[in-house]
Chain A
Amino acid sequence: MELLYFGDKGWGDELFFATLMTIAVSITAMIIGFIFAALFTPLKLSNNKILIIIGNSYTTVIRGVPELLVIYLFFFGGSGAIMFVASIFGYNDYIEINAFLTGSFSIGIISGAYSTEVFRGALQSIDNGQFEAAKVLGFNKYIYFFKIILPQMLRLAIPNLSNVWQITLKDTSLISVTGLVEIMRQSYIAAGSTRDPLFFYSFAAVLYLLLTYLSMKIINRLEIKYSRGY
């Protein structure tokens, strides 16, 4: 247990901050994923064939290719792409992008593909009459979407979004390969310097279990909140 002391003697504080980092990356990735889902869900549901193909290829490619490969693409390709854009504006120095941003962005793109599918499914299972009634009653676009469609969609989407959250949370372990100090990376460092990998990786597993357990509890509350009246 000494290994978990806070301060210089143990790894407790390091692992605590690493856990916070994992949570921060997961939440950022989830939000980035929602932005992607908000962009691509309408494409998948549109009537235009080209837009549908664009929407479908996003979800098919990202969900069919290993997460690690996507992370490598952004990790190695990210700074290159940004330097290319910068060189257009006349800036030619080396730019290194933040590991947190690369990590959240690549996990966010992955999580976005899953969220897109969830939102599409939820929108499609809302009764058509709801859309028609809202239009017939002459609500403006804001009320139409935010007060009528969105609440109904969220109720249907939350159980599946909780799966997406669990996937995203576990996927963040993969960005340890880019050097961002989250739970996995910190355990790797601790295991290397104490030569006790069994303890630290098992402890990492416990931390992940704790995170998935706690988030399940919170999501269950949300589910109850959004299914009031059903």
Chain B
Amino acid sequence: MDFDLMFTSFPKLLAATIVTLKLLSASLFFGLFIGLFFAILRLDKNIFINKFAYVYSYLFRGTPLLVQIFIIYFGLGQIEYLRSTFLWVILKEPYWCAIIAFTLNTGAYTSEILRSAFQTIKPGIIEAGKSLGIPNKIIFYKIQIPIAIRQSLPAYGNEIILMMKGTSLASTVTLMDLTGVAKYIISTTFKPIEVFIVAGGIYLFMTFIINNVIKFLEKKYSFNS
């Protein structure tokens, strides 16, 4: 065991953790909106809108995240037309490509989580709202969405952890996130176990925090309190 290496690499890995957290929070933030949007489309009665949302979630859940990042980072740059639009400013940056890929990926999973949450809401609750004369819009925003969010908390907590692990793929498109820096240190020192312990410890710590925050929220918004 090379404890010196563990001590010297800790600050470097901690600095890289900030990149990981930035990627995670940005993609979760945008992914939540995309997920909600597609969950609503999935519940639409129009079969085309419905199918469109289904195909989106099927494509992104059926392929590895690595393929998605590579298509966006290496693939899209090949389209001449894109290069001439303002989008190119975003797409030439690996940072934004990673965020786009993560957002679309987590959006697909989130849409499934939210869809099933919407479907488990008892129709009686909506009917009760209607019979009290509450407008449909308010029923949706003030009754259905809060219940759906509560229902989906445990599954969404898992999704946050999966996404946190997913951000490690950013290192394949030259970003120096926690895994990227860990790999760099391993490949220069050839001490994989020490680096794994430190980097893995940081990841586990984040998992632990996320788990506890979700548990706290679950308790806070449980139906009984």
A174 and B182 contacting across the interface, CB-CB below 8 Å: no
Residues of chain A lying within 8 A (CB to CB) of residue B165: 64-67
CB distance from B169 to the nearest CB of A (A): 6
Residues of chain A lying within 8 A (CB to CB) of residue B77: 197
Near B by CB (< 8 A), chain A positions 73-109 give: 73, 76-77, 80
Please pick, from B66, B76, B161, the residue contacting A174 in the complex, using a CB distance under 8 A.
Answer: B66
Residues of chain A lying within 8 A (CB to CB) of residue B71: 197-198, 201-202, 205
A198 and B179 contacting across the interface, CB-CB below 8 Å: no
Residues of chain B lying within 8 A (CB to CB) of residue A177: 172
Interface class of chain A by DSSP:
helix
Residues of chain A lying within 8 A (CB to CB) of residue B183: 68, 72
B168 and A66 contacting across the interface, CB-CB below 8 Å: yes
Please pick, from B74, B182, B186, B193, the residue contacting A201 in the complex, using a CB distance under 8 A.
Answer: B74
B78 and A198 contacting across the interface, CB-CB below 8 Å: yes
Most chain A CB neighbours (cut-off 10 Å) among B77, B182, B208: B182
B76 and A198 contacting across the interface, CB-CB below 8 Å: yes
CB distance from A26 to the nearest CB of B (A): 12
> Which listed segment binds A: B46-54, B119-127, B144-152, B196-204?
B196-204
Q: Encode A190-214 as 1/0 by CB contact (under 8 A) with B.
A: 0100011110011011001100110
Please pick, from A63, A64, A197, A209, the residue contacting B63 in the complex, using a CB distance under 8 A.
Answer: A209
Residues of chain B lying within 8 A (CB to CB) of residue A171: 64
CB distance from A139 to the nearest CB of B (A): 38
Residues of chain B lying within 8 A (CB to CB) of residue A67: 165, 168
Q: Does A153 contact B (CB under 8 A)?
A: no
A173 and B168 contacting across the interface, CB-CB below 8 Å: no
Please pick, from B62, B78, B166, B168, the residue contacting A69 in the complex, using a CB distance under 8 A.
Answer: B168
Near A by CB (< 8 A), chain B positions 136-190 give: 161, 164-169, 171-172, 179, 182-183, 186-187, 190
B193 and A208 contacting across the interface, CB-CB below 8 Å: no
Closest to B211 in A: A64
Q: Encode B38-73 as 1/0 by CB contact (under 8 A) with A.
A: 000000000000000000001100111111101100
With the chains together, A65 CA to B164 CA distance in Å?
9
With the chains together, A197 CA to B74 CA distance in Å?
6
Residues of chain A lying within 8 A (CB to CB) of residue B66: 173-174, 176, 184
With the chains together, A64 CA to B79 CA distance in Å?
38
Most chain A CB neighbours (cut-off 10 Å) among B67, B186, B200: B67
* A201 with B70, Cβ < 8 A, contacts A66-B165, A69-B179, A73-B193 known: yes
CB distance from A137 to the nearest CB of B (A): 39
* A77 with B67, Cβ < 8 A, contacts A65-B165, A66-B203 known: no
With the chains together, A63 CA to B91 CA distance in Å?
31
* A69 with B199, Cβ < 8 A, contacts A64-B161, A174-B66, A184-B66 known: yes
Interface residues of B (CB under 8 A from A): 58-59, 62-68, 70-71, 74-79, 161, 164-169, 171-172, 179, 182-183, 186-187, 190, 192-193, 196, 199-200, 203-204, 207-208
Listed A/B pairs (28) with beta-carbon separation below 8 Å? A61-B200, A63-B161, A64-B207, A65-B204, A66-B166, A66-B179, A68-B179, A69-B182, A72-B186, A76-B186, A76-B192, A77-B193, A77-B196, A170-B65, A174-B64, A184-B64, A184-B67, A184-B70, A195-B78, A197-B70, A197-B75, A197-B78, A198-B75, A201-B67, A201-B71, A202-B75, A209-B58, A209-B63
Besides A72-B192, A205-B67, 15 other CB < 8 A contacts?
A63-B161, A64-B200, A66-B166, A68-B169, A68-B172, A68-B179, A68-B183, A69-B179, A69-B200, A72-B186, A73-B192, A173-B67, A197-B78, A204-B67, A209-B58
